[in-house]
A and B are shown apart, each in its own frame.
Chain A
């Protein structure tokens, strides 16, 4: 409680000089004890610096105690403190708006982090390898995310550096975030972003809600299939303008358009001159201290890259037409030199909408999240879109609905349904005819968690996937038995 007071004092000191002779302030009247959940400030620190500790205010800038009458009208920060909706999201561990850098920043370097160690069981796992060397076994222990974040705030700026280590594709240590921001209009409420924040560096792309929601706070182990297909990883390199005013939120980014983990091999680079524009315009309101409603619309527009091919020399090849293992007449074929093909680019876009409802009851926070998108040529992670090869634009769409429910401070359960179609115009060869065929992937994911508030989580998740990645007896695309379960232990500091 005292640390909250310190924060308010610090902010007030900058904006509301107190008259001389004002007595020492007493404890604030804010009472968070009614809240069913204590403030796990670590859970919010992925996107916002923790509100405490904060430096002591300058002696000459003591604010009015919030509970005492004053001739001056109450400052904005004091009104926040009177309002019990103050900081309910960050305290509840639901940092809906990324990049929140409130006025309550600590005047020091802040180090935070989390580690997600897990075991995965996949029904389709086998011993062996596919042609090309891909492993068939997916049952394994792994470090999914091990992140250390260092941040430093000033009144007009912020620097964030986050390193991620994982063993998803072997031992990896890489840059996850590297942001430098200048900003104006910090707010006292840790749920509110500044009025304007200009960020350069490597940051999460502002599309929808799921992409920017920190994996540290998310109950489900991974984002939905559609989100991972269109945005294989969250960060990209570029500049971003973001902020909020009252209930409105905005975030507009110009990036290279090749996010981390993109399978083209150009992740975080930029093979074409074009820059992608990604933006989300939304709203976030806290009508009561028990209810939050948020939502937004997003879009992405950019250009994909079809790589060039090298010129070749003349070669010969042998085709064992009669399969006798010997080179016979007519089986040696000449392949003349071929000119390389130039690189090409293609247009791609996505539009989406999201809605989040949060309700706090005696049991704990409930969160209902729904999201939908439509895209063109934007699959960069599952069935890679390349209209130069396919000869036509590839249309994607997907949606999800998820419900999570805290069970007191020490547990949570959740269920999510998501749907993704990577190519709405896919044609399959059936009995000699090309017929329109769905390629949709739909997944129902259930999760149950035990929580050590503010410190650790033990999650068990089971995902039932229904897709068309196999074939049935008739040769028709059918469901591949690839359900998955995950047992994850997450620790954070």
Chain B
């Protein structure tokens, strides 16, 4: 008997260590701020089996139905009927569980209860279409009908929404630079005509600007961290021709000892199904720059590769 008790105690201790995972949802690609995470399927009735009973989510609002990979603070809000105690939210195909937060205050106009969600979408969520599920739960813990809303997650490489649409045409060429920390790295491309394309090179600087391409952003500019760590040079209307020289410059290490990066070149490929083309990566180069290589004047950027377009 004494031995059994001892075994039970030891088992309890070991079991507690074994169960120590997944409680906070901090490892989930889709997270809701200030909410409690639960493992499992989103509770409630699917639209096909609607019960039309309380509690119910009665309205859903958001600025748009597109989010970027890695976007934080995406706002969703709405109302639910008076029997609601909490709201559960899940992103189908991404979450291994769902998030619960208490219902908010009474809406003065409709007399219903309001709710709002601030959601973060991780970088590991692949571009494409996803279904956001929202369900109201009453005071007894019983869930009502699920409200399903389709969302489009856009990738870090701009594709004009092709990931979510079979008819959207992607850009003709994208040269993408991505890196791994908060350093200020810049992509520079020199065209056959000698034009320098990139964040720190504009016509105003005396450089020969190329109006046919566009840089989407200067990420971490002047060490103002944006956590995007991506710069894309995009040819949308025209296609580049000839040999282009691709450089990467470490404008400011921002107190990072080194930064690792990759440069990718994307062009469209016809799927042969009648649908629009989609971007395919044709080339990848990786590298590393040390803090000592920081060069705010970009007098000696690191040569990466030559890319020749027909």
Query: Which residues does A use to contact B, with CB under 8 Å?
Result: 121-130, 136, 139, 321-325, 428-432, 448, 460, 462, 470-476, 480-481, 483-485
A429 with B104: CB separation less than 8 A: yes
Asked if B204 is an interface residue, CB under 8 A from chain A, the answer is: no
Is B102 a contact partner of A483 (Cβ separation < 8 A)?
no
Chain A residue at smallest Cβ distance from B88: A473
Interface hits, B92-138 → A, CB 8 Å: 100-106, 113, 137-138
What residues on B are CB-neighbors of A127 within 8 Å? Answer: 21, 27
Pick out which of these stretches binds chain A: B11-19, B235-243, B291-299, B300-308: B11-19
A-B contact pairs, 21 of them (CB 8 A): A123-B17, A124-B24, A127-B27, A322-B64, A323-B62, A323-B63, A323-B66, A429-B104, A430-B85, A431-B113, A431-B139, A448-B9, A460-B13, A462-B13, A472-B100, A472-B141, A473-B137, A475-B36, A475-B87, A475-B103, A485-B12
Docked-complex contact B38 and A473, CB < 8 angstroms: yes
Listed from nearest, the 8 A-B pairs whose CB atoms lie closest are: A475-B86, A475-B102, A471-B36, A125-B20, A128-B26, A323-B63, A485-B13, A121-B17
Q: Are B16 and A121 in contact (CB under 8 A)?
A: yes
B68-86 to A contact mask, C-beta < 8 Å, 1/0: 1001001100000010111
User: Residue on A with the closest CB to B20?
Assistant: A125
Q: How far is B12's CA from A260's CA once the two chains are assembled, in angstroms?
A: 34
Does the CB pair B100–A471 fall under 8 Å? yes
Is B43 in the interface zone, CB < 8 Å from A?
Answer: yes
Quick one: which of B19, B35, B102 contacts A123, CB cutoff 8 A? Answer: B19
Chain A's closest residue to B154 (CB) is A325
Check B106–A128 contact: CB distance below 8 A.
no
Which chain B positions have C-beta within 8 A of A484? 16
A-B contact count (CB 8 A): 119
Collect the chain A residues with CB atoms within 8 Å of residue B66's CB.
Answer: 323
Partner of A462, one of B12, B67, B105, B140: B12
Does B23 interact with chain A (Cβ within 8 Å)? yes
Interface centre among A127, A325, A462 (most CB of B within 10 A): A325
Q: Say whether A475 contacts B21, CB under 8 Å.
A: no
Given A473-B137, A475-B85: A325 and B68 within 8 A (CB)?
Answer: yes
B194 at interface, CB cutoff 8 A: no
Known contacts A322-B64, A473-B43, A474-B137, A431 near B20 by CB under 8 Å = no
CB distance from A122 to the nearest CB of B (A): 6
A471, A480, A483: which contacts B16 (Cβ < 8 A)? Answer: A483
18 more A-B residue pairs beyond the given contacts A323-B63, A432-B113, A472-B36, with a C-beta to C-beta distance below 8 A: A121-B13, A121-B17, A122-B16, A122-B20, A123-B16, A124-B24, A126-B23, A128-B26, A322-B64, A323-B71, A429-B105, A431-B113, A471-B86, A473-B38, A474-B141, A475-B87, A475-B101, A485-B16
List residues of B (1-16) whose CB comes within 8 Å of A's CBs. Answer: 9, 12-13, 16
For A319, give the chain B residue with the smallest CB separation.
Answer: B73
Question: What residue in chain B is nearest A470 (Cβ atoms)?
Answer: B36
CA distance A430 to B27 in the complex (A): 28
* Shortest CB distance B96–A (Å): 13
Q: Is B22 an interface residue, CB under 8 A from the partner?
A: yes
Chain B: CB-nearest residue to A122: B20
- Known A-B contacts A129-B26, A473-B141; the reply to A432 vs B103 at CB < 8 A is yes
Please give the distance in Å from A407's CB to the nearest CB on chain B: 12
Q: A323–B104 Cα gap in the complex (Å)?
A: 23
Per the bound structure, the CA–CA distance linking A481 and B67 in Å amounts to 33
- Please, how many angstroms separate the alpha-carbon atoms of A436 and B88 in the complex? 23
Write the nearest CB–CB distance from B198 to chain A, whole angstroms. Answer: 20
Q: Decide if the interface of chain B is mainly helix, strand, loop or mixed.
A: mixed
Residues of B with Cβ closer than 8 Å to A?
9, 12-13, 16-17, 19-24, 26-27, 35-36, 38, 43, 62-64, 66-68, 71, 74-75, 82, 84-88, 100-106, 113, 137-141, 143
Cα of A472 to Cα of B86 in the assembled complex, Å: 9
Q: In the complex, which residues of chain A have a beta carbon less than 8 angstroms from the beta carbon of B103?
A: 431-432, 475
Once the chains bind, are A126 and B102 in contact (CB under 8 Å)? no
Question: CA of A166 to CA of B159 in the docked complex: distance in angstroms?
Answer: 53
Q: Is the CB of B20 within 8 A of A126?
A: yes
CB distance from A379 to the nearest CB of B (A): 22
Distance, CA A338 to CA B43, complexed state (A): 47
A484 and B22 CA atoms in complex are apart in Å by: 16
The answer to whether A432 and B21 have CB atoms under 8 Å apart is no
Q: Is the CB of A126 within 8 A of B16?
A: no
Q: Is the CB of A476 within 8 A of B24?
A: no
Which of B19, B86, B113 neighbours the largest number of chain A CB atoms within 10 Å of its CB? B86
Tell whether, in the assembled complex, residue B137 and residue A123 are in contact, meaning their CB atoms are under 8 Å apart. no
With contacts A121-B16, A431-B139, A471-B102 known, is A126 near B22, CB below 8 A?
Answer: yes
Residues of B within 8 A of A432 (CB): 103-106, 113
CB distance from B58 to the nearest CB of A (A): 14
* Shortest distance from the beta carbon of A473 to any chain B beta carbon, whole Å: 4
Chain A residues, CB < 8 A from B68:
325
| Residues in A neighbouring B16, C-beta threshold 8 A | 121-123, 483-485
Check if B9 sits within 8 Å of A473, measured CB to CB.
Answer: no
Residues of B within 8 A of A323 (CB): 62-64, 66-67, 71, 74-75
Cβ–Cβ < 8 Å partners of B64 in chain A: 322-324
CA–CA, A368 to B106, complex, Å?
52
- Distance to closest chain A CB from B229 (angstroms): 15
Most buried by B among A121, A130, A323, A429: A323
Q: Which residues of A contact B143 (CB under 8 A)?
A: 473
CA distance A474 to B86 in the complex (A): 5
Assembled-state Cα–Cα distance A123/B14 (Å): 10
A122 to B13, CA, bound (A): 9
Q: Which residues of B contact A428 (CB under 8 A)?
A: 102
* CA distance in complex: A323, B38 (Å): 28
Q: Which residues of B contact A322 (CB under 8 A)?
A: 63-64
- Flag if A473 contacts B106 (CB, 8 Å): no
CA distance A136 to B24 in the complex (A): 9
Complex: A286 Cα to B86 Cα, angstroms: 58
- Interface residue from B12, B24, B102, B137 paired with A429 (Cβ < 8 Å): B102
Nearest B residue to A429, CB-CB: B102
List the B side residues contacting A139 at CB < 8 Å: 17, 20
Q: Is the CB of A126 within 8 A of B74?
A: no
Nearest CB on A from B66, distance (A):
8
Say which residue of A125, A448, A473, A481 sits within 8 Å of B86 (CB atoms).
A473
Give chain A nearest CB distance to B194 CB in angstroms. Answer: 30
* Shortest CB distance A240–B (Å): 40
- Chain B residues near A130 (CB-CB < 8 A): 24, 26
- What A residues does B87 contact at CB under 8 A? 475
